[in-house]
Amino acid sequence: MRNIEAVVFDMDGILIDSEVIWRLVREEFCADNGMTWSAEDQESTMGCNTAMWSRLMVERLRLRERLGMDEAAVAKEIKARLLRKYEARLPEREGAIAAVHRAAARYKVALASGSPNEIAGHVMKVTGLDKVFLAATYGDDVVHGKPAPDIYLDVLKKIGVAPDNAVGVEDSGNGIRSLKAAGMGIIAAPGPEFPLTPDVLALADRRIDAMAEFSVEMVEDIGRARRPAQGR
């Protein structure tokens, strides 16, 4: 049995229904410039930090050749479009804020979001979660974004909890692979717009389809079921 000490939440797709908006922003950008953004394109960027998703956009859309845009230029454009939508309406995922508060009543809670720092910071202030999370690591804070484990290992170090004693909540394949690489317990919470493939779901300890399903009992069950690191 593992003594779970912390729960770490992703932001996009978990706390806010933002993956749909990220997709919409990229689709609008492409439509404005005579290009298309596919479902496969969107899936490739989910959970990635700014450096990674901007590189993917430049490569997949051939932005240097078509528009003379590099990673910095497309990142600036997409972030500006996204922030305008967030300022108009922040799409909180139903039950997510309450889930964080339930977790915080029992465990240390933290945030590991691949979003750009200014975007994630805006969301934290608007939701009031900046006063709940003990620590946060954003996409721009680490060199290697999800699916690398860096972002989770960094935030766990900030709160003084070992990966074996922590559970993460993620919606994307990149995020779940990041948790697995970090050696943490995993709750998969995919949104209806972006279902997970069976091989990704197989990596998770539990799956929920709504954030209202998150419970302390679920976290405790994961702790009871997880074997010692050397036995995995």
Whole-number average pLDDT of the chain:
94
Asked whether the predicted pLDDT for residue 156 surpasses 80, the reply is yes
Q: What is the predicted pLDDT for the residue at 1?
A: 57
Q: What is the pLDDT of residues 171-195, one digit of tens each?
A: 999 999 999 999 999 999 998 888 9
In the numeric block, the tokens 């922003």 are attached to 25
Short-list 175, 173, 172, 155, CA closest to 163? 155
Q: What is the predicted pLDDT for the residue at 228?
A: 59
- Give the Cα separation of 215 and 103 in Å (integer): 8
Q: What is the predicted pLDDT for the residue at 230?
A: 37
Q: How confident is the model at residue 231 (pLDDT cuts 50, 70, 90)?
A: very low
Residue ranges of domains in the chain, CATH in brackets: 6-17+92-231 (3.40.50.1000), 19-88 (1.10.150)
Q: What does the pLDDT average to over 159-178?
A: 97
Global pTM? 0.86
Q: What is the predicted pLDDT for the residue at 106?
A: 98
Whether omega before 149 lies within 30 degrees of 0, making that bond cis, reads no
Q: What is the predicted pLDDT for the residue at 232?
A: 41
Percentage of the chain with pLDDT > 70? 97
Q: Name residues whose C-beta falls within 8 Å of residue 181's C-beta, 6 or more positions apart in sequence.
A: 147, 148, 149
- Give the Cα separation of 4 and 203 in Å (integer): 18
